[in-house]
Structure 1
């Protein structure tokens, strides 16, 4: 057994468990487990020699102006698709600061966030050929209830209750947070160390002193953890039908170049928050047993398009390369395909929400199998879009009730297999305004 496999757990399973638990004890154990992989000898908690950080340090001048602009610092596969980091943590927070926020509080929040950017490189550090994300990517978003407290709610940011109502879901599932912090990396120790530093649980971060934290301004109110990556769902989930090399629990990869918009498309282009974006943060339960009760051909038709040949898609979407294969014709012919095949594909339905240039309106920012939902399989999904109306329009295309044909819900894409556990809506300001904004 490898020395980095505590108590019989494979290394990556142990790291996932540590990230899900959180806290400084998990950080110490996680870092110890990852040292062999990283080739480092120092601890993110105890390193004092700034010339020998455990992880690559960041450069403030290299961090983009938009918190959500991660694209240039994401790993890409051989087809040019972006590959999301394997570990994600979304921390829901309650605002405890002054109304309106003081200059001192803003400075403390900004200094705490800048420490993360100094301590860790931005994702891959801009290395186009990087095989994994050694650094950290993150964004801080504010809910309508925060803006209500300190000023007024900016245009384009709808309450989570109104979003849920607009898509036919229960408003009681709305997040009750004032803000959300989304952090992601391939290295569990990086996530845990960054989170611990922000909330005053460690004195040093990758060898740098922690001099400013969120204490007195934000407190933790919830924590949502997930993971994504080839083989990880099969390794974790109690379902033998999940393909061994699938990156997500429903068996197929996502994030093809053609169904992800550019970062410019999802960026707010005018108003006081120009340069920022909105975040839709969700946790969804998935009925995997019923999903895998179907054959491969049925699952492929419902995930993509029934008019497509499953042999051209592959067991996990691996044969598609950088393109989902869904065309404008597929999106326009949902009714015709429904009549011919008795099924409708998820990807072809969602393509109906694309703009006049057939560009998608929402950009998956982090997604993964939920590691903090114990009652069945679940999914963490965080998207960004210019306005929450873009999210609503895209989500509504999934609803069978939006269509006139008689295809039953269980054959109508993947909507019938999903149950919303929580949804939140947030605005991620441009980096220069990210510390306690007021409208």
Structure 2
């Protein structure tokens, strides 16, 4: 029996609602449990071996792609051919509790491989990555190999950040994702020693005792999800303005294929960490009160895309008129004229100026969040070098447009609606080196 059939998992009083309504209720129940961590009721739902039913993993995890960030081929695409991101996300900041010796390294490797044996590497099963901070590598006598660009995280480098920004100085960031929230929760439990079987497979090792969990954050993405979850959040108008079809709180689609770097482009090519990538992770609070109440739809399109997009009505209600591209490269040369004559420059329009030979530098995997009952965004960016992230963020800051009176809190893209709250930088090693890596493995 699956947990969908278990009356303990049905949040309705009798368990007798129609199947469609009961399925919707269960999805909402699991979604709430993901956001808060497994409740006692959900723990009961997940207690049995058969309670999580997902496609099985592989007998030999070494047969999987060596890149931890190789998610695109394991993900479905939308009707336009853009990669559709997983719906449920959990992020754990981890602090190392032991010396990173051979025994600890073997335990981490065994625990992670157990997930891959139990669950298919896909959004129907589980995708995950484990990245390491500069602080993790600082404990070693050897320096991080020169092929890796991983400076200490510093939000003041490219943006004048608020004083309450938290910089991640823990050791690692674990990112777990699936289209099934129950799978994410069960994987968490298995990975931290709270269950010994997962999807019919024995789990013989865990990260418990190796890492201490210091901070848990959650996210979600998908058409209709922000509209469903906007009610009662801090920073959202009482009118609940997020369109039903929008996958993000600001009301528009994102992740267009031609606006995303490829996984090849963000992969480190040489050195002992060939096959790795660098990851930037930040949490941003959104001021949707101002975004929706102070501007009409045309003005929001101009700020997010460009004034030209607004004039041509090129976007639609939530981006449905766009397919695999925003076409912002066609209006980058007009950006100074827009700043001077329209008093607005578009967010995407600015970012396009940082491309290299017309190609994006960043692969973004952003998700909405309601952590703390605040409307926000977990901004996840992969790039070969963090210098490339800084280049894009400098373009986003748009300091060149100050000469037209467009400061950070004026009509300079979407900056005035964002409040930075968390910032971190990570090396996401290849799968073969993801278990407590040394800074220079071949030295």
TM-score by length of structure 1 reads: 0.88
Cross-structure match for 1:258: 258
Cross-structure match for 1:6: 11
Q: Deviations over 1:132-191 (max 9, x none)?
A: x3111110000000000134334300111x244333325852113210001111101111
On the 8 A contact 1:301/1:310 being kept in 2, the answer is no
Is 1:232 the counterpart of 2:222? The answer is: no
CA distance in structure 2 between the aligned counterparts of 1:206 and 1:86, rounded to whole angstroms: 20
Alignment of 1:52-131 (within 5 A): 54-59=53-58, 60=61, 62-98=63-99, 101-123=100-122
CA distance in structure 1 between the aligned counterparts of 2:183 and 2:160, rounded to whole angstroms: 38
Alignment of 1:420-435 (within 5 A): 420-435=420-435
Deviation at 1:7, TM superposition (A): 4.9
Cross-structure match for 2:48: 46
CA distance in structure 2 between the aligned counterparts of 1:371 and 1:393, rounded to whole angstroms: 29
SS at match of 2:313: helix
Q: Which runs of 5+ in 2 are unaligned?
A: 14-23, 232-236
Is 1:305 the counterpart of 2:310? The answer is: no
Cross-structure match for 2:391: 393
CA distance in structure 2 between the aligned counterparts of 1:21 and 1:436, rounded to whole angstroms: 28
Could you say if the C-alpha distance between residues 402 and 95 of structure 1 is closer, same or farther in structure 2, counting changes exceeding 3 Å? farther
Cross-structure match for 1:21: 36
Cross-structure match for 1:158: 151
CA distance in structure 2 between the aligned counterparts of 1:418 and 1:247, rounded to whole angstroms: 18
Deviation at 1:210, TM superposition (A): 1.4
Cross-structure match for 1:384: 382
Deviation at 1:259, TM superposition (A): 0.5
CA distance in structure 2 between the aligned counterparts of 1:70 and 1:310, rounded to whole angstroms: 35
Is 1:202 the counterpart of 2:217? The answer is: no
Q: Deviations over 1:220-276 (max 9, x none)?
A: 010110111111111111241111221110000100011101111101112221110
SS at match of 2:372: coil
Deviation at 1:336, TM superposition (A): 1.2
Could you say if the C-alpha distance between residues 423 and 310 of structure 1 is closer, same or farther in structure 2, counting changes exceeding 3 Å? farther
On the 8 A contact 2:158/2:393 being kept in 1, the answer is no
Could you say if the C-alpha distance between residues 368 and 193 of structure 1 is closer, same or farther in structure 2, counting changes exceeding 3 Å? same
Cross-structure match for 1:138: 128
CA distance in structure 2 between the aligned counterparts of 1:394 and 1:178, rounded to whole angstroms: 26
Q: Deviations over 1:263-311 (max 9, x none)?
A: 1110111222111001111110000010002100000111111112452
RMSD, aligned CA = 2.1
Q: Which runs of 5+ in 1 are unaligned?
A: 33-42, 124-132
On the 8 A contact 1:19/1:26 being kept in 2, the answer is no
Deviation at 1:27, TM superposition (A): 4.3
On the 8 A contact 1:164/1:174 being kept in 2, the answer is no
CA distance in structure 1 between the aligned counterparts of 2:55 and 2:321, rounded to whole angstroms: 35
CA distance in structure 1 between the aligned counterparts of 2:296 and 2:372, rounded to whole angstroms: 27
Cross-structure match for 2:234: none
TM-score by length of structure 2 reads: 0.87
CA distance in structure 2 between the aligned counterparts of 1:383 and 1:353, rounded to whole angstroms: 15
CA distance in structure 2 between the aligned counterparts of 1:12 and 1:205, rounded to whole angstroms: 20
On the 8 A contact 2:91/2:216 being kept in 1, the answer is yes
Alignment of 1:286-435 (within 5 A): 286-293=286-293, 294-308=295-309, 309=311, 311-327=313-329, 329-355=330-356, 357-365=357-365, 367-374=366-373, 376-403=374-401, 404-408=403-407, 409-435=409-435
Work out which of the residue numbers 208, 211, 215 in structure 2 matches 1:215. 208
CA distance in structure 2 between the aligned counterparts of 1:27 and 1:58, rounded to whole angstroms: 24
Could you say if the C-alpha distance between residues 110 and 425 of structure 1 is closer, same or farther in structure 2, counting changes exceeding 3 Å? same
Deviation at 1:5, TM superposition (A): 5.4
Q: Deviations over 1:337-377 (max 9, x none)?
A: 1122221101010111111x211111012x22213132x31
Is 1:274 the counterpart of 2:274? The answer is: yes
Deviation at 1:26, TM superposition (A): 5.9
Cross-structure match for 1:129: none
SS at match of 2:190: helix
On the 8 A contact 1:396/1:402 being kept in 2, the answer is no
CA distance in structure 2 between the aligned counterparts of 1:394 and 1:57, rounded to whole angstroms: 39
